[in-house]
Structure 1
Amino acid sequence: MSDASSPSTRSPLRVLIVADTYPPDVNGAAVFGHRLAKHMTARGHEVHVAAARPGPGPDMVERRPEATIHRFRSFKAPTHEYFRLCLPWTVEPGMERLVDELQPDVIHVQCHYMIGKAAILAAQRRRIRLIATNHFMPENLDPFLPFPQWFKNVVSRNSWKDMSRLMGLASVVTTPTPLAAQTMREKAGFENVLPLSNGIDVDYYALRPGEDRPARDHPTVLFVGRLAVEKNVDILIDALSRTDPRLGIRLEIVGDGEQRDHLRAQVEELGLSDRVEMRGHVSEGELREAYLAADVFCQPGTAELQSLVSLEAMSAGKPVVLADALALPHLVSDDQNGMLFAPHDADDLARKLDAVFSLPEAQRRAMGEASRDKANQHAIGRTMTAYEGLYCGADWWETGQFFEEPPRRR
């Protein structure tokens, strides 16, 4: 397979990536969209991205190193800190105009909601090759819907139906993990869903020749991600308060979100201000340093379809303590590269943290090496080669094999 950053041997394509969330948003789907654009551009393809404008104002175009970004007029979601909504009566005509202007060879949607729906319908009308990737489950919307649970259940069922109706029009449907693919088959009725990892640059987070590992003054467990309800960072903070005080474990939290004030109040209430550092958003270089300096990584989230941050920590050679929920168990071989804990159970998480931090340094280092071996299975070059094949006409059948067809420009 060709390297993710190397020019492709295939004929250049014009690719339109359509995303409901894209940088400056900070989440797994936005990171994947950015990396996809960057690597496809590096392979010699002409890449355009259609996404919501991150603030008020009319449609606009950005020229960025990874792609040309077409921003559609959007409105702030009333219950989410940064998510923007593109209304159908504005985004659908705008998408029609954009597709007519670009005449892309392939459209790759990352969602089936408003902006994704507009792109799916535009692709279908013009018989443009369509690839669809699903990054989350409709139930993930629950924390942001101010309705009773019975109504949220109705919304979830309808969202699954819409996913089936819209993404079912694609030539190939992908999702990051086998578990997510199985769920889509069961709840949305898809016959074939290709589990295709989002991919990570496993070498970026590893120590380089001659580089010393950054040091922390105390044993450190690291969390990276949005400070959102479903990430359950409050469970991690609670667990920290229950760990063996003789171990002196500290917690470093990288990321920001709507739960920040609640979490700060929890830290103060538990008397952990000297043991918890909330760093907010950091630069890419500072994030890399945080992974390398930490002793253990923890992901307490229960809505993870893959968890790129867990894979990044694993590629940095860290033992991981992850919630036994959704896709996270696929990343852990218990007692080999980390441990699983019962979701929402602070006592169990505290026990697992105590167990890992009580291990001899050599054994923790061996667990970190096992983590890196697992992360290598998600090398981004493999992911980008697979998507490039899909763009060029490969298909997905029940055997799980790709069958090449000649690309067809329109």
Structure 2
Amino acid sequence: MSTTDRPAPLRILIGCDTFLPDVNGAARFAERLAAGLVQRGEDVHVVAPSITHRKAGTFVETIEGERMTVHRWASWRWYPHDWLRFVLPWRARGYARKLLDRVRPDVIHIQSHIVIGRALAIEGAKRGIRIIATNHVMPENVLDFTLLPERAKRAFVRWGWRGADRILKHAAAVTTPTQRAADFLERNTHRRGVRPVSCGLRASNYTPDLTERTSHRLVFVGRVTLEKEIDVILRAIPRLDPSLDVTFTVVGDGDQRKQLEKLATELGIASRVTFTGRVTDEELRASLTNASIFVIASVAELQSIATMEAMASGLPIVAADAMALPHLVRDGENGYLFQPGNDRELADRLERILTMPREEYLRMQQASLDAVQVHDIDRTLDTFEALYRGEPVAS
């Protein structure tokens, strides 16, 4: 659509319970969505937790190279988690009322049903504002940080899904990154017609290396947390043929880093494993370009932007056969799937790729590059702009 044919800009309020400087899939999606909408001429406002309790207010911030208005609500650190901050629930509704009366958005797009998303959805519905909801959250994902005893965790999950249902009913449309995630949401709530919309990425930002590899480098990108099951990857490495001289780089940081470093030492592979901590986007992309295989053992991915980034970097993928990962990994084409938690099977899949003929490896690289094209960010932006306006969405 040419700029002269575009309808008048919308004032869009994006509500995020996690946002920059957090590093996770939901935050990255919200950042790219907001920046892409600004590039298209929309009037974008973002609501997010303050970076520290005292740094609340309205700011003009540069996100993904685009300047936009970010309303930071006073938040508090949740210390069982390595980075999570939350707005006090009993204050969020008041913040929402004042902001909505001041900004008067045409549409609210909430990124979760938790504190900020919940407050904006309830107060926005009272004012008749169109609400779009994207679900990035499973209550199961936060169990490790609740400090609840095991017997209480099932009750927590049921309570979490009931809360999600109550908030998502306010939305004119509910989306989630993949069909499997949409099916999962419908099974656990009364929502129907949940639409899968890829988080999207711009593949041209990544650099594939299709030349012959001179070393065997595995890489994982993401939060170093329990749900990512990085320990499974570490346990697979000693099972590989020692002559392959495989190294493994973990790009990211999190509360499990010390435990995993200790495990690498116990397994006798500490010299071959690197934990980078937080890195710049440029360093992240270079880590992907220079790797041989991207490996992910997580069992709770609603899409996995990191896996898509690896595909855009031309890497074969070895991934757990769980949640949304089979939507990205076509077994035997652009990589292999393995039974979750099975480090022996993971080692077998890794060794298959590391020892395959160059022509087969190159075919896997190209298959990743081809498969990631359907996740182009412009398709995602087209879909959400149509949903914001209540227009038909192209299939």
Task: Give the TM-score band, short-chain normalised.
Answer: over 0.9
Q: Give the corresponding residue for 2:364.
A: 367
Equivalent residues in 2 for 1:15-34, closer than 5 Å? 15-34=12-31
Aligned equivalents of 1:18, 1:59: Cα separation in 2: 15
Encode CA deviations 1:200-234: one digit per residue, 9 max, x unaligned. Answer: 11111134xxxx77998631011000000000111
Aligned equivalents of 1:167, 1:37: Cα separation in 2: 21
Shift of residue 9, structure 1, vs aligned partner: 1.6
Q: Secondary structure of 2:175's partner?
A: strand
Aligned equivalents of 1:248, 1:385: Cα separation in 2: 45
Q: Secondary structure of 1:340's partner?
A: strand
Q: Give the corresponding residue for 2:157.
A: 156
Aligned equivalents of 2:148, 2:353: Cα separation in 1: 41
Q: Secondary structure of 2:323's partner?
A: coil
Structure 1 range deviating more: 36-45 or 144-153: 144-153
Encode CA deviations 1:134-171: one digit per residue, 9 max, x unaligned. Answer: 01211111111212233111111111111111111100
Shift of residue 238, structure 1, vs aligned partner: 0.9
Q: Give the corresponding residue for 1:295.
A: 292
Shift of residue 10, structure 1, vs aligned partner: 2.4
**8 Å Cα contact 2:178-2:197 kept in structure 1:** yes
**8 Å Cα contact 1:213-1:293 kept in structure 2:** no
1:267 and 2:268 aligned: no
Aligned equivalents of 2:232, 2:205: Cα separation in 1: 30
Equivalent residues in 2 for 1:60-79, closer than 5 Å? 60-65=57-62, 66=66, 67-79=68-80
Q: Give the corresponding residue for 2:215.
A: 218
Q: Give the alignment partner of residue 277 of structure 2, picking from 280, 283, 287.
A: 280
1:341 and 2:334 aligned: no
Equivalent residues in 2 for 1:69-218, closer than 5 Å? 69-207=70-208, 218=215
Q: Give the alignment partner of residue 258 of structure 1, picking from 233, 252, 255.
A: 255
What is the letter of the counterpart of residue 334 of structure 1? D
Aligned equivalents of 1:214, 1:98: Cα separation in 2: 53
Encode CA deviations 1:21-63: one digit per residue, 9 max, x unaligned. Answer: 0010000000001001100000001111001112121531221
Encode CA deviations 1:220-278: one digit per residue, 9 max, x unaligned. Answer: 01100000000011110111121111111110110000001001111112121221111
TM-score scaled by structure 1? 0.92
What is the letter of the counterpart of residue 157 of structure 2? S
What is the letter of the counterpart of residue 75 of structure 1? W
Q: Give the corresponding residue for 2:47.
A: 50
1:232/1:346 Cα in 2 relative to 1: closer, same or farther (>3 Å)? same
Q: Give the corresponding residue for 2:232.
A: 235
1:94/1:297 Cα in 2 relative to 1: closer, same or farther (>3 Å)? same
Aligned equivalents of 1:170, 1:298: Cα separation in 2: 36
Shift of residue 323, structure 1, vs aligned partner: 0.3
Structure 1 range deviating more: 14-23 or 359-368: 359-368
Aligned equivalents of 1:267, 1:343: Cα separation in 2: 20
Aligned equivalents of 1:7, 1:297: Cα separation in 2: 42
Aligned equivalents of 2:74, 2:212: Cα separation in 1: 45
Aligned equivalents of 2:251, 2:133: Cα separation in 1: 30
Aligned equivalents of 1:332, 1:216: Cα separation in 2: 22
Q: Secondary structure of 1:203's partner?
A: helix
**8 Å Cα contact 1:303-1:326 kept in structure 2:** yes
What is the root-mean-square deviation in Å for CA atoms of aligned residues?
A: 1.8
Aligned equivalents of 1:186, 1:330: Cα separation in 2: 19
Encode CA deviations 1:88-115: one digit per residue, 9 max, x unaligned. Answer: 2222111110111000011000011111
Percent of paired sites with the same residue: 39
Shift of residue 395, structure 1, vs aligned partner: 5.6
Mind listing any 5+ residue stretches in structure 1 that lack a counterpart?
A: 403-410
Q: List structure 1 runs of 4+ shifted beyond 3 angstroms.
A: 212-217
Q: Secondary structure of 1:50's partner?
A: strand
Shift of residue 8, structure 1, vs aligned partner: 7.8
What is the letter of the counterpart of residue 379 of structure 1? D
Aligned equivalents of 1:68, 1:76: Cα separation in 2: 23
What is the letter of the counterpart of residue 43 of structure 1? R
Aligned equivalents of 1:99, 1:255: Cα separation in 2: 36
**8 Å Cα contact 2:334-2:365 kept in structure 1:** yes
What is the letter of the counterpart of residue 282 of structure 1? V
Q: Secondary structure of 1:39's partner?
A: helix
Aligned equivalents of 2:384, 2:228: Cα separation in 1: 29
Q: Give the corresponding residue for 1:317.
A: 314
Structure 1 range deviating more: 290-299 or 139-148: 139-148
What is the letter of the counterpart of residue 317 of structure 2? V
**8 Å Cα contact 2:210-2:314 kept in structure 1:** no
Q: Secondary structure of 2:203's partner?
A: coil
Q: Secondary structure of 1:298's partner?
A: strand
**8 Å Cα contact 1:7-1:43 kept in structure 2:** no
What is the letter of the counterpart of residue 117 of structure 1? R
Shift of residue 333, structure 1, vs aligned partner: 1.5
Aligned equivalents of 2:8, 2:330: Cα separation in 1: 41
Aligned equivalents of 1:38, 1:147: Cα separation in 2: 38
Aligned equivalents of 1:30, 1:7: Cα separation in 2: 32
Q: Give the alignment partner of residue 384 of structure 2, picking from 380, 383, 387.
A: 387
